[in-house]
């Protein structure tokens, strides 16, 4: 007595079969059809009528085996519940009329996932969605191993997106440097590769090949979006201030060097400190500086 295994179901292996030329078979069926009509239409005995009706029935049944396939299209043949093979060539063919045919598209399809709410590696809630380019490679697995290849891809792709998003930080400022991980926002190409590999591992059982997977939507969740926006603005202000400070220091250094090299004025250490303070104030002030000119007083 066979026991049911608790592991993964046995996968179906695809194998390709060749179908007969449909035009050649059509040249055989057309004369047979005309002969059957002739036997039925012309006067004769019961035997002649029975032969004509039998020939007509057989000819019409054989016509059921004629079918056409477009480029990037396949037909899975089933013979009384058993997998008989797959025809992948395009053209006009004839197969055993007892075969039931299930057409499968091998063309590339796009699937836009819904916007998912996920916590990233640091626990920040984010919204993420992806666009996936996929196609069916193994027709036997797509037909027999899953109920619906498209529905299976939709569910498994959402699971893969959650897995990738939860293992990476949203921004590079949040990504732990010691782990060397990529961030979702700045490392799009690397994340796209990881996302494609993750989805591919999930849908291998369905005979699906993921050609490309890219993030189509990425944002903080509404409840923290304002706070994160203020944080990004603060970071931008700090970086801008740092640029201004670096530039002002360089300008002050050049000014002091030119004054000393050209011997325009001789400055003491206290005078240098005052000059540096004044120049930095003028260069870094957001509003126009108002200079105060000291007038020398004559001695009595």
Q: What is the DSSP letter of 191?
A: H
* pLDDT (0 to 100) of residue 300: 42
Higher pLDDT, 178 or 59: 59
The tens digit of pLDDT for each residue in 86-125 reads 999 999 999 999 999 999 999 999 999 999 888 888 878 8
Check if the beta carbon of residue 93 is closer than 8 Å to that of residue 23. Answer: no
Say which CATH topology domain 109-220 has: Tetrahydropterin Synthase; Chain A (3.30.479)
Q: What is the pTM of this model?
A: 0.68
At a CB cut-off of 8 Å and minimum separation 6, what does 67 contact? 22, 75, 92, 93, 94, 95, 101
Summary mean pLDDT of the chain: 81
Q: What is the DSSP letter of 186?
A: T
Q: Where are the alpha helices (DSSP H) in the chain?
A: 22-41, 46-63, 139-140, 149-166, 188-203, 222-261, 269-284
Q: How confident is the model at residue 60 (pLDDT cuts 50, 70, 90)?
A: very high
Q: What is the pLDDT of residue 274?
A: 72
Contacts 24+ apart (CB under 8 A), 276-282: 276/252, 279/248, 279/251, 279/252, 279/255, 280/248, 280/249, 280/252
């Amino acid at each position: 007595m066979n026991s049911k295994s608790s592991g993964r179901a046995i996968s179906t292996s695809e194998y390709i079969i060749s179908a007969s030329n449909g035009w050649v078979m059509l040249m055989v069926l057309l004369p047979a059809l005309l002969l059957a009509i002739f036997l039925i239409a012309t006067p004769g005995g019961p035997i002649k009528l029975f032969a004509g009706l039998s020939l007509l029935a057989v000819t019409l049944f054989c016509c059921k085996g004629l079918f056409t396939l477009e480029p990037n299209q396949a037909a899975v043949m089933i013979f009384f519940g058993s997998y008989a093979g797959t025809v992948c060539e395009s053209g006009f063919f004839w197969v055993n009329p007892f075969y039931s045919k299930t057409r499968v598209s091998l063309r590339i399809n796009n699937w836009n996932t819904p916007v998912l709410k996920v916590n990233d590696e640091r626990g920040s809630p984010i919204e993420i969605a992806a666009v996936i380019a996929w196609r069916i490679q193994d027709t036997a697995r797509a037909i027999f191993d899953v109920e619906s290849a498209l529905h299976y891809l939709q569910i498994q792709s959402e699971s893969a997106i959650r897995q990738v998003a939860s293992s990476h930080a949203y921004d590079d400022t949040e990504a732990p440097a010691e782990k060397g991980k990529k961030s979702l926002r700045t490392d799009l190409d690397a994340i796209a590769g990881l996302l494609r590999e993750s989805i591919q591992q999930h849908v291998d059982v369905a005979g699906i090949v993921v050609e490309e997977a890219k993030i189509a939507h990425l944002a903080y969740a509404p409840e923290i979006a304002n706070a994160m926006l203020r944080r990004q603005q603060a970071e931008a202000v700090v970086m801008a201030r740092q640029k201004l400070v670096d530039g002002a220091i360089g300008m002050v250094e050049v000014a002091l060097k030119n004054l000393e090299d050209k011997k325009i004025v001789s400055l003491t250490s206290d005078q240098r400190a005052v000059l540096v303070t004044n120049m930095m104030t003028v260069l870094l002030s957001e509003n126009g500086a108002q200079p105060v000119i000291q007038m020398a007083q004559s001695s009595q």
